[in-house]
Amino acid sequence: MNSFPFIVQLIIFLFGAIIGSFLNVVIYRYNTGRTLGGRSICMSCGKTLRWFELIPVISWVVQAGKCVRCRSIIPFQYPLVEFVTGLLFLGIVRMYIGLLPNIPLFLWFVVPSIFLWCVLAVIAVYDIRHKIIPDLFVYLFIVISALLLFITPDGFFMPDMWDFLAGFIIPLPFALLWYATGGRVIGFGDIKLMMGIGFFLGLGMGIAAVMLAFWIGAIIGVFLLLAHGKDVTMKTQIPFGPFLILGIAIAYFCQLSFLDIASWFTFFT
Ligand SMILES: [Zn+2]
């Protein structure tokens, strides 16, 4: 099997979007003392949302991004996280579709991947909102990625040495930079995230993810400088976590290694 019927893909996307709407709740309530239980309410007027206000993406579009009662604006973050989570679910399922005749093996790869990508989505949005990478989620990413190196469908297994060392090699230069500059150039949360990248992607794809993050970050940074002029200076803090996670996404979904990127440049020489 190499593809699902459209209707099955749509159901996977919608299921992902529903999980995305839960991730929005996690992002808003983490570290606020509020639990994850209880009905969803409007952040402005406190109105309990009814079922038709809780349909991922669609409710936001139908309501034109406003609360039905108080007309206050519902942040674009809500439908965006729902939509992207839907795409992540679809992308992950399609990635492992070749395993599908063997359903346990398919689930073995899909379920942890989906969980890790939900964790990364929370980290990215939380870092944009609060300019900090939440410890709980980055530790989940590190520990589960590391465990997945040792646990295979056949049981406990010693991983390839380089896949394991990648978790230490990739953050090392940035940890030294953090130490030398007293944390002014890069945040320690970004270094923790890089450790998880090493365990999750291995050395080749992990280096690709970090390189892509720096390039995309530099391009966006220059763009912000040009677009906002005075308001943005070289000292304006732009969270780096979302760029790292974008880099992970490109490396992971395109299966792009450092060697693939190096080969782009031999094209010019
Ligand atoms: Zn309201």
Query: How far apart are the C-alpha atoms of 4 and 162, rounded to whole Å?
Result: 35
Confidence of residue 146 (pLDDT cuts 50, 70, 90): very high
pLDDT(231) > 90:
no
Higher pLDDT, 163 or 154: 163
Residue corresponding to tokens 């991004």 = 65
What tokens appear for 50 in the block? 């009814």
Angle CA 246–215–148, to nearest 5: 40
pLDDT of residue 2: 62
> Is 195 found in the same domain as 72?
no
**Are both 68 and 181 inside the same structural domain?**
no
Measured in Å, residue 182 CA sits from the centre of ligand 1 at: 44
Same domain, 153 and 51: no
Q: How far is the CA of 74 from the centre of ligand 1 (A)?
A: 9
Rounded to the nearest angstrom, the distance between the alpha carbon of 237 and the centre of ligand 1 is 32
Residue 74 CB neighbour total at 10 angstroms: 18
d(CA 28, CA 32): 8
The Å distance, Cα 41 to ligand 1 centre, comes to 8
Average pLDDT score over the chain: 91
CA of 80 to the centre of ligand 1 (A): 19
Report the separation in Å between the CA atom of 121 and the middle of ligand 1, taken as the mean of its atom positions. 26
Residue 136 and residue 267 in one domain: yes
The CA 124 to ligand 1 mean position distance, Å, reads 26
Q: Among 96, 111, 130, where does a domain finish?
A: 130
Provide the pLDDT for residue 154: 82
Over residues 196-210, mean pLDDT: 97
Query: Ligand 1 centre from 236 Cα, in Å?
Result: 33
In DSSP notation, 81-139 reads HHHHHHHHHHHHHHHTGGGTTSHHHHHHHHHHHHHHHHHHHHHHHHHHHHSS--HHHHH
Please indicate, yes or no, whether residues 269 and 138 belong to a single structural domain of this protein: yes
Q: Which residues are in the CB-under-5-Å shell of ion ligand 1?
A: 42, 44-45, 67, 69-70
pLDDT band, residue 160 (cuts 50/70/90): confident
Q: Which domain holds residue 122?
A: 1-130
pLDDT of residue 214: 95
Shared-domain flag, residues 158 and 253:
yes
Mean pLDDT, rounded, for 212-223: 92
Indicate if the pLDDT at residue 203 is higher than 80.
Answer: yes
**Interatomic CA distance for residues 89 and 16, integer angstroms:** 5
Question: What is the distance between the alpha carbons of residues 120 and 248, in angstroms, rounded to a whole number?
Answer: 9
Query: Domain boundary at 71, 104, 130, which?
Result: 130
Name the domain count of the chain: 2
Q: Quick one: 9 and 118 in the same domain?
A: yes
77 shares a domain with 123: yes
pLDDT band at 41 (very low <50, low <70, confident <90, very high): confident
How far are the Cα atoms of 25, 96, 223, 246 from residue 209, in angstroms, in the given order? 28, 20, 21, 8
- State whether 115 and 220 are in the same domain: no
Instruction: Note whether 5 and 114 are same-domain residues.
Output: yes
Spell out the SS3 assignment of 28-53.
HHCCCCCCCCCCCECCCCCCECCHHH
Clarify whether residues 136 and 269 are in a common domain.
yes
Q: Tens digit of pLDDT for each residue in 1-30?
A: 567 889 999 999 999 999 999 999 999 889
Calpha distance 151→157 (Å, rounded):
6
- Which of 80, 96, 130 is the last residue before a domain boundary? 130
* 77/122 same-domain check: yes
Span from the CA of 20 to the centroid of ligand 1 (angstroms) = 21
Region of 34 (left: φ > 0; alpha: ψ -120 to 50; beta: rest) is: beta
